[in-house]
Amino acid sequence: MVDKAQILKAVKAAIDEAPDRKFQESVDITINLRNIDMAQPKNRIDETMLLPNGTGRTEKIAVLGKGDITTQAKEAGVELIIGSEEIERLGGEPREARKIAGEYRFFLAETAVMPLVGRWLGPRLGPRGKMPMPITPGMDIRPIVERLRNSVKFRTRDKKTFHVKVGTTGMDAELIAENTDAVLRRVESVLENGAMNIRSVYVKTTMGPAHRVI
């Protein structure tokens, strides 16, 4: 387990040495794994987790479907609602579909439209790890939306190096350090040999230098 003081020291250094910007940069950690065969699907990481202190921004969510799910989406302040006909239309508009796939962090879709999503938007969402969470009839999406707004998703695919957003430069270093600690605990919990499978961890702002955590 990584020492929390060690994490905080690296986070503070990363923020202090970040170039001055007129906007808030993301703060990310890079995790490098070792002694693990990523060619085996069972060893790959694909996690969505609620950060203790949020990401520093409200993550944008899109909802796909019609009827009750769209009513709930409007009540929850969801940024984008895509109806059944719109799903098919977007399938023929690759540039617009790519923009949506890049702009929105999480997608929810009622189960009835999942086949349409797979056919028309799968090529845009799948490679980004953004295939929608299926929503069954009668499910209340409002608490799901609230949780996802402060969550991060990370996955390794077949790579031993991956990145996780843990905050922004507008957050206190202590809060970012807590988020970092939570992510590392989650990663250790899903690795076959826990911390022994982690080679190194670095933290950096978008444009700043990287600082080693472990």
Confidence band for 3, pLDDT divided at 50, 70 and 90: confident
Show the tokens assigned to 34. 């070792």
pLDDT at 20: 87
Confidence band for 82, pLDDT divided at 50, 70 and 90: very high
Compute the average pLDDT of residues 171-180. Answer: 98
Contact 213, 180 (CB under 8 A): yes
**Element containing residue 52 per DSSP (H, E):** none
Question: For the segment 114-150, what is each residue's pLDDT rounded down to a tens digit?
Answer: 999 999 999 999 999 999 999 999 999 999 999 999 9
Show the tokens assigned to 7. 């994490």
Residues 6+ positions from 22 with CB-CB distance below 8 Å: none
What's the number of CA atoms in the CB half-sphere (13 Å) around residue 199?
Answer: 10
Residue 29, CA distances (Å) to 37, 66, 181, 204, 206 in order? 22, 38, 11, 6, 10
Question: Is the per-residue pLDDT at 109 higher than 80?
Answer: yes
Tell me the C-alpha distance between 140 and 127, whole Å.
28
Determine if the pTM surpasses 0.85: yes
- Residue-averaged pLDDT of the chain: 95
156-160 contact pairs (CB < 8 A, 24+): 156/33, 156/38, 156/44, 156/45, 156/46, 157/38, 157/44, 158/38, 158/39, 158/44, 159/38, 160/32, 160/33, 160/34, 160/36, 160/38, 160/199
Q: Where in the chain is the domain with CATH 3.40.50.790?
A: 61-148
Task: Provide the percentage of residues in the chain whose pLDDT is more than 70.
Answer: 100
Query: Coil, helix or strand for 174?
Result: helix
Q: How far is CA 166 from the centre of its chain?
A: 10
Fold that domain 61-148 belongs to in CATH = Rossmann fold (3.40.50)
Task: Provide the percentage of residues in the chain whose pLDDT is more than 90.
Answer: 95
Q: Of 191, 212, 170, give the one whose Cα is nearest residue 11.
A: 212
Fold that domain 4-56+152-212 belongs to in CATH = Ribulose 1,5 Bisphosphate Carboxylase/Oxygenase (3.30.190)
**Element containing residue 9 per DSSP (H, E):** helix 4-16
pLDDT at 178: 98
Show the tokens assigned to 92. 């023929």
Contact 121, 88 (CB under 8 A): no
pLDDT at 21: 84
**Element containing residue 162 per DSSP (H, E):** strand 161-168
Q: Where in the chain is the domain with CATH 3.30.190.20?
A: 4-56+152-212
Contact 182, 2 (CB under 8 A): no
